[in-house]
Amino acid sequence: MKKLNSTIWMALSGAVLLASCNSSLETRVAELESRVAELETQASAASPTALKVNQSEQSSANNTSSAGAPKFEFTEETHDFGNINEGDVVEHVFKFKNVGNAPLVIQSATATCGCTVPNPPKDPIAPGAENEILVKFNSQSKTGVQNKTITITANTEPSVTRLYIKGNVIAKDQQAAGPVKK
């Protein structure tokens, strides 16, 4: 199982690097991430004992118990900008609460493309405290349906959380210029 996950994640990592903001490749990466999640769910359902052992090993390795670990609770994990014009820079705030029993520390927040920039808090978030992650999307040279994934790595259980933004970028040459005179 670990070998399968490692192979899949290596393939996903390579695809993300090669994607370099290419919309169709980013869509494929998002599909692959979704499929990996499905496979992991199927594997845990098929072998609950193996999953428990793996979680035990992980907890021991991290030297923390999941009961006391910090945990994200987002008000939303996906935001749809709807239709936006090519060249617009739009932003959205993802609000969250630390519902765990220890301070939450975000180690990194990355996006599938340089056109998407997440700005997480730098300081630890106390248990019960609320905070936010600002995500900006620059639609310059992007057209059509856009799906971007923001990956957050933190000292939470699980350690990786994903947020998603999407929208339809209308090309400059298709934007309405106003009423047409005859």
List the domain boundaries for the chain: 1-63, 67-173
**Confidence class for position 84, pLDDT limits 50, 70, 90:** very high
Element spanning 148, H or E: strand 144-154
Percent of the chain with pLDDT over 70: 59
CA–CA separation, 122 and 102 (whole Å): 16
CATH class of residue range 67-173: mainly beta
Question: Nearest-CA neighbor of 99 among 66, 65, 129?
Answer: 129
Whole-number pLDDT of residue 116: 96
Best mean pLDDT range from 53-57, 112-116, 146-150: 146-150
Chain position carrying tokens 């035990």: 56
Residue recorded with tokens 């939470």:
156
Q: Please, what is the Cα angle at 155 between 90 and 46, to 5 degrees?
A: 100
What average pLDDT is seen over the chain?
Answer: 77
Taking each helix axis from N to C terminus, what angle separates 23-46 and 2-19, rounded to the nearest 10 degrees? 170
